[in-house]
Structure 1
Amino acid sequence: MVLDYKNRQNRDLKILELGVGAAPNLKYVPDNSDITLLDPNPYFTKHAEENIIEAKKRLKSVEWVQGVAENISSPSNTFDIVFCTLVLCTVVDVKKCLSEVHRVLKPGGMFLFLEHVAAEKNTWKRFAQTFMDPVHYVLFDKCSVHRETESFIRASSLKDIEIERFQSELFFWIDPSITGTATK
């Protein structure tokens, strides 16, 4: 998908990853891209160092920025692609985060995401999510397991939203998950 987008643009891409962690996704970034890695945790840089060193061999630039997704320091219309993996469950304000994604994307730019979401209401899985949420929040860096992330994405100013639901292989209370794309 990203390579198809790059080929349609006929140029190297400027990419932003939200909530980088140890930067395991760098291996999937197309060659010759410029990537900005945004994460609020200053201690992740140490864990990401090996992946960043390896990525610098094939990418134009790799920039680490400490910050939050609700207040991205980049100018408007900067990035061809913004992506996140299991991040929207931890941001303080999902609406503000998605507004910032929209702001920093170039016109026609793509937002890619993979997230776990709230189970259907009035199901045993939703009950388990509600029960486990306080514990999970403390143990897993403020992750909310029953957040209505899909609804937030659909209500955002992004367009051409395509979402696919699937069953994850994470803990039973972290299910279902979604993957998808949207554009500015």
Structure 2
Amino acid sequence: MASKKRELFSNLQEFAGPSRKLSLLEVGCGTGTNFKFYPPGCRVTCIDPNPNFEKFLIKSIAENRHLQFERFVVAAGENMHQVADGSVDVVVCTLVLCSVENQEEILREVCRVLRPVSERV
């Protein structure tokens, strides 16, 4: 999967806003296994319903110094009210949509937190 993830995440920087600093939200971050595929300087916010992942995320952030870790939020993807409307450039959720209670609601939340395209140019 590493080569596939490298390929899939290779153009993430293209979605950065006017500041050119990519703001990324990972929903269902788990232990942070995707971190090594994110571009240098990327600002990462993580959401996961399992609070026990935080200790593993701290270790993963220490191993991925090319990232700027913003915060870890304990929440389900269907209710990300702690993340402001239009506040992120990219949302990543791998191996998540198959395990949520309400796929429509999580996708609605993803659309809500994504920065409008008109603000990215």
TM tier relative to shorter chain: 0.7 to 0.9
Do 1:71 and 1:100's aligned partners in 2 also have CA atoms closer than 8 Å? Answer: yes
Match of 1:71 among 73, 79, 85: 79
Q: Which has the higher contact order (CA 8 A, sep 6+)?
A: 2
Shift of 1:3: 3.0
Unaligned runs of 5+ in 1: 110-184
Residues 1:44 and 1:60: Cα distance change in structure 2 (over 3 Å):
closer
**Counterpart-to-counterpart distance in 1, 2:61 and 2:49:** 17
TM-score by length of 1: 0.53
Q: Which structure is higher in strand share?
A: 1
Do 2:13 and 2:22's aligned partners in 1 also have CA atoms closer than 8 Å? Answer: no
Say whether 1:5 aligns with 2:15. Answer: yes
Do 1:52 and 1:62's aligned partners in 2 also have CA atoms closer than 8 Å? Answer: no
Partner of 1:16: 25
**Counterpart-to-counterpart distance in 1, 2:87 and 2:70:** 15
Q: 1:1-184 to 2 correspondence within 5 Å?
A: 1-6=11-16, 11-55=20-64, 57-72=65-80, 73-108=82-117
Amino acid at match of 1:54: E
Number of matched residues? 107
TM-score by length of 2: 0.79
Higher Rg of the two aligned structures: 1
Residues 1:62 and 1:53: Cα distance change in structure 2 (over 3 Å):
farther
- Percentage of identical aligned residues: 36
Shift of 1:95: 0.6
Unaligned runs of 5+ in 2: 1-10
**Counterpart-to-counterpart distance in 1, 2:13 and 2:87:** 19
Shift of 1:37: 0.5
